[in-house]
Amino acid sequence: MKWLEPWCSIDNHDAQFHQSFRKQLEREVAPGHVMYGLPARLIARGNGDDALFKIEDGSDRVAEVHLTWAKGQETLPRPRTVIYSSLEAWAEQSMRPEHEEWKAE
């Protein structure tokens, strides 16, 4: 994947970094949230608190999540989350348009 600004790979971060994002996601999502109970792995970071997770349920889905860094569960619909059918769908529908806005600023 060629990451476009403001998105970047997190491959060079250690296991503790990855675990902190997974735990934060689990902390914030309440029953009824689209990510509640789904196994997920951080694959990229965006601008600010945006994170991209691979949903590890056998599908190709990814979730773009705006973490709030709350100390507990958020009230639905937070954290703001959009699920895409694949990494390629996310790149086309979210990363590329966001990159164009980023370049224009």
Give one DSSP letter per residue of 44-105, joined into a string: EE-STTEEEEEE-SSS--EEEEE----SSPPPTTPSEEEEESSHHHHIIIIIHHHHHHHHH-
Give the residue-averaged pLDDT of 57-75.
97
Range of the domain at 12: 8-104
Q: Provide the terminal-to-terminal Cα distance of the chain, rounded to the nearest Å.
A: 24
Pick from 56, 61, 51: nearest CA to 83: 61
Give the residue-averaged pLDDT of 51-55.
98
Task: Return the pLDDT at 103.
Answer: 83
Proportion of the chain above pLDDT 70, given as a percent: 100
Any domain includes 2 = no
Give the residue-averaged pLDDT of 83-99.
97
Any domain includes 3 = no
Any domain includes 86 = yes
Task: Using the predicted structure, report yes or no on whether residue 90 has a pLDDT greater than 90.
Answer: yes
pLDDT band at 102, cuts 50/70/90?
Answer: confident
Task: Using the predicted structure, report yes or no on whether residue 105 has a pLDDT greater than 90.
Answer: no
Average pLDDT of the chain to the nearest whole number: 95
CA distances to 5, 70, 86, 102, 103 from 53, rounded to whole Å, are: 17, 18, 11, 21, 24
Contact indicator for 9, 3 with CB cutoff of 8 Å: yes
Q: How many domains does the chain have?
A: 1
Contact indicator for 19, 41 with CB cutoff of 8 Å: no
pLDDT tens sequence across 72-88: 999 999 999 999 999 99
